[in-house]
Amino acid sequence: MSKFNHYHPAGDEVPDAVARFVLALAASLALHLALALGVQIKAAQPVGRVRAAMEVRIERALQAGIKEPLLTASVADTTEKKPEEPKPIEVKPAPQPPAPAEPAPAILPTLDIPLLEDPTWYPAKQVDMHPVALSPIKPVYPEKGAELGVDGKVVLLLLIDETGVVKEVSVVEADPEGIFEESALAAFREARFAPAQKNGRAVKSRVLIRVTYELNDRKKPVMTQPPTLIAP
């Protein structure tokens, strides 16, 4: 086998790793070619001849055609990531103890304070209930009237307090005059009444009462009962 001239361009050196790769590739190709052509390969051959047979002229073009494998490596992102700020932990306030129950207000003793006395003497039309006599009132027929054989009438004004007592009585009208007035006054000065009522309470009142004197067919005095209350 003729030897190949080794030609190395000036200034260019084949890296050892590439040379070994090319030699291994050439050996593999030669072996497969021999098997395809039925060429027997002797097992024992001098090392020098095998090395000479496997010499290959490495042309510059071959060197240019074989590209060095690019070694790529993923570069881990070394940028230091800013650690995420921990989310603030929501702290629920501890439950407040229930406010102490307010003490029950002390029960003060009730004082019976009497209501101020109402000084008003209410007329009959301003009260809810009129005063009512507790017992029949029977004036006496005056003798002078019986002697004269005349009838008569007297209108009285009564001031009755909140207890039903007649505080004052006076004559408003009399017919005929000078005969029946004293009889009527005497009868009502001593009378007792259930007091008038206003808004659910007893009040003072002033009422007009008509007292009538009559004679029967035999000229005997007859009193009209009860005396008539006149609304002023």
Render pLDDT for 135-151 as a digit per residue (tens, 0 to 9): 988 888 898 988 888 99
Which residue in 123, 116, 139 sits closest to 191, CA to CA?
139
The larger pLDDT score, comparing residue 85 to residue 81, is at 85
Classify 181 as helix, strand or coil: helix
Tell me: the pLDDT tens digits for 15-43?
A: 666 677 777 777 777 776 666 665 454 54
Q: Which tokens go with 114? A: 């009497």
Q: Note the pLDDT of residue 118.
A: 85
Least confident of 66-70, 168-172, 177-181: 66-70
pLDDT band at 44 (very low <50, low <70, confident <90, very high): very low
Q: Cα–Cα–Cα angle for 155, 156, 161, nearest 5°?
A: 150
Q: Note the pLDDT of residue 111.
A: 60
Q: Note the pLDDT of residue 99.
A: 72
DSSP 134-179: SS---PPPPHHHHHHT--EEEEEEEEE-TTSBEEEEEEEEEESTTT
Domains with residue ranges and CATH for the chain: 16-65 (no CATH), 122-230 (3.30.2420.10)
Which residue in 182, 196, 195 sits closest to 211, CA to CA?
182
pLDDT band at 228 (very low <50, low <70, confident <90, very high): low
126 φψ region: left (φ > 0), alpha (ψ -120 to 50), beta (else):
alpha
β-pairing, 196-198 vs 201-203, is antiparallel
